[in-house]
Amino acid sequence: MTLPTWSFADDELNLYSARKEELIKPLLDRFTEQTGIKVNLVTADAAALLQRLQSEGINSPADLLLTVDAGNLHRAKEAGVTQPFESAQLAEVIPENYRDPEGHWVALSLRARPILYAKDRVDPARLSTYEALTDAEWRRKICVRSSDNIYNQSMVSAMIATLGVEQTEAWARGLVANLARPPQGGDRDQIKAAAAGQCDIAIANTYYLAGMLGSNDPTEREAAEHIAVFWPNQADRGVHINASGAALTKSATNRAAAEQLVEFLANPESQQWYAQVNGEFPVRADVPISETLAAWGPFKADAINLDQLGVYNAEAVRLMDRAGWR
């Protein structure tokens, strides 16, 4: 990672971001244009940033942590590297279930993890819920990435919060029995495998599909065009939702500027940029989504508080291991 020249001036703030630079830098530049506040940026994966914050302790120069997955936000809170903050503006526009109950973090964009299916081989009328993916008709027809992936861990955590450990473990065992191949690769690889006929169904985040549909790589676009989105569990709890979000670090020396940046990232202009460029859903209901996302139709989202994805993470990991999800 590239280390900036750290500053502790009132007109600068230091940001640790697990989002790739190209997916956040344009918004940071816009923030600087509007406020005059310079943002010094360090990017790395979520685990590396958490480890760094823990190692630096109260002497960390970071004012703000921006990371993906509510499970990672919860880990940062549990590690003691964040602190609560209050913003009436954020409380007004971000739903309560997308904010930490103790004020340590707020979601800034949403990502859905539905069922993706091969258009030429699956009749969507045969699909209904995540639970139904354990039915015999899907034997050796499902692709999903490994259990060490935080997105899958959070999906299982959400199921534990709603269904309990016993029912969720039975589901996980049934899902493993229906896998077309051992888990391998990322979400794009699951989509490509379904398009290539290695499986009929993939479980993946929709922004990967959106990215493939808009890719400069014709092979990625072609693969994505063979895949459709099905929103599961619409008659009960809704499709699994996760988020990217921000947390104020415990060591923050420019708290006011950090809070101002979070409020900026939640404004309509920034939220619409997320939807158009990143293929994610706005955390605000009053912001329009892109044509690509709108084409998949409306859906009911799981309404549990996203902190539950972190609360049950350790249990989810143990459960997936017992179920043989590698």
CATH at 122: 3.40.190.10
pLDDT band of residue 20 (cuts 50, 70, 90) is confident
In this prediction, residues 281-306 reach a mean pLDDT of: 94
User: Does the pLDDT of residue 7 top 50, yes or no?
Assistant: no
Q: How far apart are CA 203 and CA 232, in angstroms?
A: 11
CA distances (Å), 18 to each of 42, 68, 73, 91, 246, in order?
9, 7, 11, 24, 10
Q: What's the mean per-residue pLDDT of the chain? A: 94
Same domain for 28 and 145, yes or no, is: no
Is 195 found in the same domain as 85? no
The CA-atom distances, in angstroms, between 326 and each of 140, 193, 262 are 16, 18, 37
Residues 120 and 221 reside in one and the same domain? yes
**Per-residue pLDDT reduced to its tens digit, 61-83:** 999 999 999 999 999 999 999 99
Give the pLDDT confidence of 87-102 residue by residue, as tens digits.
999 999 999 999 999 9
Average pLDDT of the residues in 249-278: 93
- Whether residue 123 is predicted with pLDDT greater than 70 in this model: the reply is yes
- Examine the domain organization and report whether 191 and 60 are in the same domain: no
Cross-sheet strand order for the sheet of 115-118: 142-143, 201-203, 115-118, 227-230
Same domain flag for 205 and 124: yes
- Specify the pLDDT at position 2: 42
- Find the domain containing 63 and state its range: 12-110+242-296
Pairing, β 201-203 against β 38-43: unpaired
**Structural domain includes residue 302:** no
Return the pLDDT at 11.
86
The Cα 140–Cα 42 span in angstroms is 42
Torsion 191-163-239-50 (CA) sign: negative
Residue 211 CB neighbour total at 10 angstroms? 19
Question: Is 314 found in the same domain as 187?
Answer: yes
- Structural domain includes residue 251: yes
Q: Is residue 117 part of a domain?
A: yes
pLDDT tens-digit series, residues 170-210: 999 999 999 999 999 999 999 999 999 999 999 999 999 99
Same domain? For 106 and 121 the reply is no
Is 64 found in the same domain as 200?
no
Do 150 and 209 fall within a single domain?
yes
Confidence (pLDDT) at 278: 87
Is residue 303 domain-resident?
A: no
Give the pLDDT score at 6: 46
Residue 3: predicted pLDDT? 42
Residue given tokens 């947390």 in the structure block: 247
User: Which residues are bridge partners to 17 per DSSP?
Assistant: 43, 66
pLDDT of amino acid 10: 61
Averaged pLDDT for residues 241-254: 96
Q: Where are the beta strands (DSSP E) in the chain?
A: 12-17, 38-43, 64-68, 82-83, 105-112, 115-118, 142-143, 201-203, 227-230, 241-249, 281-282
Average pLDDT of the segment spanning 133-150: 97
Structural domain includes residue 152: yes
Same domain membership, residue 175 and residue 315: yes
Within a domain: residue 5? no
The residue among 63, 34, 69 whose CA lies nearest residue 267 is: 34
Strands (E), 11-157: 12-17, 38-43, 64-68, 82-83, 105-112, 115-118, 142-143
What local confidence, expressed as pLDDT, does residue 91 receive?
95
Contact 222, 192 (CB under 8 A): no
pLDDT category at 229 given cuts 50, 70, 90 is very high
Q: How many domains does the chain have?
A: 2
Q: Residue 57, exposed/middle/buried by CB under 10 A (0-12, 13-18, 19+)? A: exposed
Indicate the range of 10-14, 43-47, 230-234 predicted with least confidence: 10-14
Over residues 44-66, mean pLDDT = 96
Q: In this structure, is residue 304 part of a structural domain?
A: no
**Quick one: pLDDT band at residue 269, thresholds 50, 70, 90?**
very high
- For residues 117-145, average pLDDT: 98
For a pLDDT cut of 70, what percent of the chain falls above it?
Answer: 97
Domain shared by 118 and 135, yes or no? yes
Do 226 and 135 fall into the same domain?
yes
Q: Report pTM.
A: 0.92
In a domain, 1, yes or no: no
Query: Which residue carries 């084409």 as its tokens?
Result: 295
